Amino acid sequence: MIVVLKPNHNPSQMESLISWLREKNITIHTSVGQANTILGLVGDTSQLDVDLIAALDIVEDVKRVQEPYKNANRKFHPEDTVIQVGNTQVGGGNLTIMAGPCSVESEEQAVAVAKAVKAAGATMFRGGAFNSRTSPYAFWGMGERGLAYLKAARDETGLPIVTELTDINQLALFRDVDVIQIGTRNMQNVDLLKAVGHQDKPVVLKRGRSATYEEWLMSAEYIMAGGNENVILCERGIRTFESYTRNTLDLASIPVLRRLTHLPVIVDPSHATGKYWLVDSLAMGAVAAGADGVQIEVHNDPAHALCDGPLALKLDAFTPLAGKLLALHAALKGMEGQA
Ligand code: PEP
Ligand code: MN
């Protein structure tokens, strides 16, 4: 349920409404917008009398929210969420470019790739230390050593680091990571979602490869219900009948999620198809469709990569792409407000 307050409501009346609702075990999310303040009510709202609340002096409107996700719902929080990561922001009209290898393989490799992607315009360095893979025989990442290589890359470049968490027991090792990623295979691993919801680092939540928008947003809801509102949704392709590409990129997810949620939305064009030569077009398509950013796999030597070589861009292919993405984003911003 949402309660829209009148523009010049009396703050002490608002406080008494909030305490009355809290006594009924309702959690309140307050969103202060330019025009109105909105109270988002989470809990068993079936016990509340809509007419009684609507009749209060300070209340302009009361609406029941049908969708099962509440915290992630744009109705609760009409303004876009902007997430601060180091000195860069995700959302709010910024273009986030996360780039780096599938797995970090050595300190030299991590530092070299981080320097190159930073010079090209990337705003964060991504790299797996604990990779989730489909095959038990595939490379699973360098674990704790991989985290140390990521930190070395951050020390050298200042780029915040993004890396995947696959097990709750790894959380203690992630204290120094900037952004935690939950991979497609774990989108509905509720224990993992609850664990990242109870800490305050931003989370990139990749779409489960067979997840509907509602299922994906319910996973975001798990994280947010624990108190962590800093969730970045990442479209990374879904499973369809098409087998030429690894997955099928759902670009409609960008405008759909814009409507359903206030959370930032980024796109991973690399895992979306599994082919390096499709990354350029799909990344441009994602930015044109309004994504808040992209996550792109980049490797210094894709032919010898321990993981996902066929989809990785070489450094000299990433540089012009990053330039094009930034130019496209700037051009689109320039068009805003034009007829
Ligand atoms: C990754 O980002 O390295 C990864 C494995 O992605 P996904 O979970 O989307 O497959
Ligand atoms: Mn990968």
Q: How many Å apart are CA 40 and CA 43, to the nearest integer?
A: 10
Query: How many angstroms does the Cα of residue 99 sit away from the middle of ligand 2?
Result: 11
Q: How far is the CA of 271 from the centre of ligand 2 (A)?
A: 6
Walk along the chain (339 residues) and give the pLDDT tens digit of each residue: 999 999 989 999 999 999 999 999 999 999 998 888 999 999 999 899 999 999 999 999 999 999 999 999 999 999 999 999 999 999 999 999 999 999 999 999 999 999 999 999 999 999 999 998 889 999 899 999 999 999 999 999 999 999 999 999 999 999 999 999 999 999 999 999 999 999 999 999 999 999 999 999 999 999 999 999 999 999 999 999 999 999 999 999 999 999 999 999 999 999 999 999 999 999 999 999 999 999 999 999 999 999 999 999 999 999 999 999 999 999 999 998 775
Model pTM above 0.75: yes
- Beta strand 231-235 pairing with 265-267: parallel
Write the burial class of residue 188 (CB in 10 Å: 0-12 exposed, 13-18 middle, 19+ buried).
middle
Specify the residue for token string 């670009």: 251
Ligand 1 pocket, CB under 6 A:
102, 128, 131-132, 183-184, 206, 236, 268, 271
Read off φ and ψ for residue 96, nearest 5 degrees: -90, 130
What are the residues whose beta carbons fall under 8 Å from the beta carbon of 329, sequence distance 6 or more? 95, 287
The Cα angle at residue 202 between residues 200 and 203, in degrees rounded to 5: 115
Residues 6+ apart with CB under 8 A from 123: 88, 94, 95, 96, 97, 98, 159, 160, 293
Nearest Cα residue to atom 6 of ligand 1: 183
For residues 209-243, b (16+ Cβ closer than 10 Å) or e, as one string? bebebeebbbbbbbbbbbebbbbbbbbbbbeeeee
Alpha helices in 245-289 (DSSP H): 253-260, 269-273, 279-288
Distance CA 123, CA 95 (A): 9
Tokens 């993992």 sit at which residue?
192
Ligand sitting nearest the alpha carbon of 295: 1
Pocket test for ligand 1, best of 216, 266, 271, 308 (most atoms within 8 A of CB): 271
* For the CA of 299, the nearest ligand: 2
| C-alpha to C-alpha distance for 290 and 7, rounded to whole angstroms | 31
Ligand nearest to the CA of 163: 1
Q: Whose CA is nearest to atom 3 of ligand 1?
A: 102
